[in-house]
Structures are given as structure tokens and as C-alpha cells.
Homo-oligomer: A and B are copies of this chain.
Amino acid sequence: MKPTIKNVAKAAGVSTATVSRALANKDNLIRPETSARVRKIAQQMGYHKNVAASRLASNITKTIAVIINYTQTDFWQTILDGILKRAHERGHKVIIFSAGEHDPQRLNETINEALEHQATGILLISGRIDHQQVNTLSNAHTPYRLISIYNLRHPEHRFISSDDVKIGIEATNYLLQKGHTKIGLVGIDHSSTGQQRLFGYQKAMTNAGLIIDPGWIHYGNYSYENGKELFQEIQGRGLTAVVAGSDMIAAGLIKEAARNDVKVPDQLSIIGIDGSIIDEIITPELTTVNQDFFKMGTASVDNLLDDDQSLFIPTKIVERASVKDLN
């Protein structure tokens, strides 16, 4: 049986209150010698406080629950880094719940688990979420923020995200400025993020007076494998440039292009949205648009704890999106 505060109290010949004080380092409420002695005994017994009981009694948690609904991409890893750092700075613990891979049912369960933990607040990192799930969150009495997903028609759901419409516009404009007119969009998904990027792409093309051939747009799941698969879709359509929905899609496209003797960027320019740690590793030809994911993490913590409004993390795409020697 695990030792409880009572066992420690008895072993030390003091009351449970004294043990509690000693372990909580309430130095002004306890004699240093007593405190030290109690702590030593507790350690010897291998005692660790029962956080459930502690929380129940004190009603304070200082814990941020993070839900990761992760996909093939690893963009959440850097976000999590940012969250961990800032949360630690602000004296909060972070507890992470994983909701499997794109499984709505499990995401639902996981949201409930997180809610049950009575955390200070919940951060949900997800590429996709449905109505019911957001409802569960908003009906509960726990502050939450959606990271990297938003719907401007529902301003009541606070979010922290990159401005995907802007990203779509800027990535497309970048290629337009290089003189391209037949530009494809490959590998976006049907979620909020994908749709906003699509919207940005359409806006930029239309602004430039260009007509988009529906065959220039191909959906996917942001993964490397999918990038490879999608390469054949853009063949034989006269495209000279492609906006890839993610850096992994771009990597897959480039890989397949090489296999098919299509020279990048001479015959086909590819610009990838979303940078990650593999930026430079993937291939020398590709440098990706790097959203400041880390900052997204820190901002999320601040936004949640300070109860601020929704926030777009500015991304300086064009400056960073240097596809080297592109045409």
C-alpha cells in the first residue's frame, strides 16, 4: 500500500497538517527543523502526495491541458515546445492528451477526459474539428483555445492561428511575381486550414486576372506519401508552378519529380507552405515557408491565461519563402 500523509505524520510524530506544510514549503508556518525532518522521512518512505486529493482540497490546479490530434505532419511538435516553455515560465504544468489520428470519436472522448481534469484551460491543437466537439468544449465551464483552426463565422470560438487566407495569397503572389500564370494548388485538405488557403490562392489568381482550371487543384492530407501520390495529378496539365499545401507535400512532389525526370525548378517551380524542423534537410532545392509555430505555442498560453481575443500569428511568408534559384 502506498504511504499516505497519515503514515508520514505518524512516522514523524506530527499532525497531517504539519506534514502538508512541510511538503508545500510553507516556510513561514513551520519551524525549519521540523520541516526538514518531515521531508526527509517522507522521502525515505517513498511518499508522494496524491495530486487528486490535493486538488480536491485546495481547488487549484495551475495546469494547462493540451490535446493533440495529430496527423501525418509534425507541425504540432514545435507548437508544443512553445506551450511548454511559456507554461513553465508562468508557473503552470502542462498535461498532454493524445487523441489518436484523425479519429473524431476518440477526439470526443479525449476532450471529455481533458475537461474532467479540471485544468485551468484547454488548448486544442488540431487540423480539423467538427461542430459537436466544439460544442462540448464551449458548453463546459473551462476556458479553451483552438490552435491552428478557426472559422470566422464563429467568432465565439477563440483561436490562435496563422492567417491561412493570407498565406494562400502570398504564396501564390510569390509565384505570380516570378512570371508564372499556370499555378496549381496541391495537397490542401477539406478542413478550415485547407479551405482558407484555397480561398487565398483563388483570390490571388483572380486578382491577377487569371482563370483557374479546376484540374489545377488537388486535395490531400499534407503528408509526404500523399505528396508523392499527387505528383501524377499535376502531370500533363501545362503547369509551370505549384503551391504545395505543406512542406511535406512539397517534399513528396519534389521526390517524384526527380523520379520522373522533371527538373525542379527549371521545369516546375514548387513552393511549400509551412516550415518545420526538416526545412533544410529535405532537399537543398526546397526551403519552406516557416510559420512561427513556436511563437504560436507561447502566444496560445498567454492568450488563454490572460483571456485575450483570438489571434493571428503574423507570418512573413515572402521574406522566408526563398525557393532558391527559382527560375
Beta-carbon contacts of A26-69 to B below 8 Å, as 1s and 0s?
00000000000000000100101111111110000000000000
> How far does the Cβ of A83 sit from chain B's closest Cβ, in whole Å?
9
Interface pair A77/B80, CB less than 8 Å apart: no
The answer, among B3, B93, B98, for a CB contact under 8 Å with A84, is: B98
In the complex, whether A118 has a CB less than 8 A from a CB of chain B is: yes
Given contacts A50-B116, A52-B118, A255-B281, whether A97 and B95 have CB atoms under 8 Å apart is yes
Cα-based distance from A53 to B118 in the complex (angstroms): 11
Partner of A281 from the list B1, B49, B139, B281 (CB cut-off 8 Å) is: B281
* A144 in contact (CB, < 8 A): no
Residue A268 is within 8 A (CB to CB) of chain B in the complex:
no
* Chain B residues positioned under 8 Å from A3 (CB to CB): 141
How many A residues touch B, CB cutoff 8 Å? 46
Contacts of A1 in B (CB 8 A): 141
Give the CA-CA distance A282 to B280 in the complex, in Å.
10
A96 within 8 A of B: yes
Q: Is A52 a contact partner of B49 (Cβ separation < 8 A)?
A: no
* A251 close to B (CB within 8 Å): yes
Besides the known contacts A48-B140, A84-B98, A251-B281, 19 further A-B residue pairs in the complex with CB atoms under 8 A apart:
A1-B141, A49-B116, A51-B113, A51-B116, A51-B117, A52-B53, A52-B56, A52-B118, A53-B56, A54-B116, A74-B277, A80-B98, A88-B106, A93-B113, A94-B97, A224-B277, A278-B278, A278-B281, A281-B282
